[in-house]
């Protein structure tokens, strides 16, 4: 039975990978990889391994901060809704407010559940085993819990602290009720698309460079324009309705949270991550074959050299 890799100084389980087994680093140099897609894959996989190995409390606090930051999306959208009423193109500008929370969370490197549905799953796809799967479930559980706690705190503050006027509070209710008009099936279907879009955004980051914030705005604005459901932003909107007394607690979980969570996971993991991993599997296989051939060739050349040295000494 294979032993689990344990860091004895911290008693933390480490991610298992072929590179760690061989004492190597994940290679992300495009010049030494078969394709640009593989370079992006390996860059994201390296980030995924780091996230999977992070301290549990660090993950939780970062996720809570992300949930609080996501309150900025509801805040901005609600303020725009009130102040842009009757302005031509107000729909476009109002939904631009949806991007604010994502900008804060991603640029501040806080833990967002839908971002982790791609980043953290690639190491598991590269080496699927019990240890890696356990680490993935630990990460997802902590990040989702932290995000919900943070969004709950933001929604509670928006409702009970004397911050907003009645018009803005009514706008928050209107935004939340727009989400609740979806059936569970529509919540799930919309969440698949939003999960796919967020995963695509993460896949674009290694190539984005200084334009990273532009990528965040464009991709998350698209989610808002399509009225797609997102488990973290939606939690702020629906929990506000719960604290407001408009909805019962049970309505947060169904028809919103459970179908939306399932859809985000399907879109970001089972569809996008699987396809993204599948497209570079042959590249990975060819790379290993090329390395094996080079090793055999070096060994053969070494043997010939030793034979020549032996003849000279004789």
Does residue 20 surpass a pLDDT of 60? Answer: no
Q: How far is CA 184 from CA 146, 252, 256, in A?
A: 24, 11, 7
Q: What percent of the chain has pLDDT over 90?
A: 55
Residue 3 lies in a domain: no
Give the least confident one: 127-141, 220-234, 242-256.
Answer: 127-141
| pLDDT of 245 above 60 | yes
Q: Per the domain annotation, does 291 fall within a domain? A: yes
Report yes or no on 4 lying in a domain.
no
242 assigned to some structural domain = yes
**DSSP 3-state of 31:** helix
Is 20 part of a structural domain of the chain?
no
The one-character DSSP state at 112 is -
Which are the contacts of 158, defined by CB distance < 8 A and separation ≥ 6? 71, 74, 75, 164, 169, 172, 240
Token pair in block for residue 293 = 């051939």
| Residue 299: CB atoms within 10 Å | 10
Q: Which domain holds residue 144?
A: 28-313
Q: Per mean pLDDT, which range of 57-71, 113-127, 199-213, 251-265 is the poorest?
A: 113-127
Number of domains in the chain: 1
Q: Which residues of 26-40 are buried (b: 16+ CB within 10 A; e: fewer)?
A: bebebeebbeeebbb
Residue 6 located in a structural domain: no
Q: What pTM value is reported for the model?
A: 0.80
Q: How far apart are CA 187 and CA 189, in angstroms?
A: 6
> Residue 11 domain-assigned?
no
pLDDT tens digits, one per residue of 113-145: 988 877 888 888 777 788 888 999 999 999 999
Instruction: Residue 246: give its domain's CATH number.
Output: 1.20.1080.10
∠ CA 76-78-83 to the nearest 5 degrees? 95
Q: What is the pLDDT of residues 75-97, one digit of tens each?
A: 999 999 999 988 888 999 999 99
2 band by pLDDT with thresholds 50, 70 and 90 = very low
Cβ partners under 8 Å of residue 313, min gap 6: none
Q: What is the DSSP letter of 28?
A: -
Residue-by-residue DSSP string for 157-219: HHHHSTTS-HHHHHHHHHHHHHHHTS-HHHHHHHHHHHHHHHHHHHHHHHHHGGGHHHHHHHH
pLDDT of residue 1: 43
Domain assignment of residue 13, yes or no: no
């Amino acid at each position: 039975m294979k032993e689990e890799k344990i860091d004895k100084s911290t008693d933390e389980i480490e991610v298992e990978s072929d590179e760690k087994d061989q004492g190597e680093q994940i290679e992300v140099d495009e010049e030494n990889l078969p394709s640009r897609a593989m370079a992006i894959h390996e860059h994201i996989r390296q980030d995924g391994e780091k996230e999977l190995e992070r301290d549990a409390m660090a993950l939780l606090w970062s996720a809570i901060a992300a949930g609080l930051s996501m309150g900025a999306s509801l805040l901005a959208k609600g303020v725009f809704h009130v102040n842009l009423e009757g302005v031509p193109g107000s729909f476009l500008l109002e939904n631009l407010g949806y991007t604010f929370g994502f900008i804060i969370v991603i640029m501040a490197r806080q833990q967002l559940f839908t971002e982790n549905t791609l980043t953290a799953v690639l190491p598991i796809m590269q080496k699927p085993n019990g240890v890696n799967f356990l680490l993935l479930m630990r990460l997802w559980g902590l990040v989702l819990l932290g995000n919900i706690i943070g969004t709950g705190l933001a929604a509670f503050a928006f409702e009970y602290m004397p911050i907003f006027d009645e018009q803005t509070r009514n706008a928050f209710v209107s935004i939340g009720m727009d989400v609740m008009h979806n059936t569970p099936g529509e919540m799930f279907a919309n969440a698949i698309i939003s999960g796919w879009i967020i995963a695509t955004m993460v896949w674009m980051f290694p190539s984005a460079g200084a334009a990273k914030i532009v990528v965040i705005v464009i991709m998350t604005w698209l989610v808002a324009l399509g009225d797609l459901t997102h488990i973290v932003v939606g939690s702020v909107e629906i929990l506000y309705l719960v604290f407001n007394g408009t909805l019962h607690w049970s309505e947060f979980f169904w028809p919103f949270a459970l179908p939306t969570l399932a859809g985000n996971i399907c879109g970001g993991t089972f569809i996008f991550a699987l396809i993204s991993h599948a497209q570079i599997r042959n590249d990975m296989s060819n790379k290993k074959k090329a390395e094996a051939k080079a090793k055999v060739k070096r060994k053969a050349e070494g043997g010939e050299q030793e034979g020549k040295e032996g003849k000279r000494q004789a």
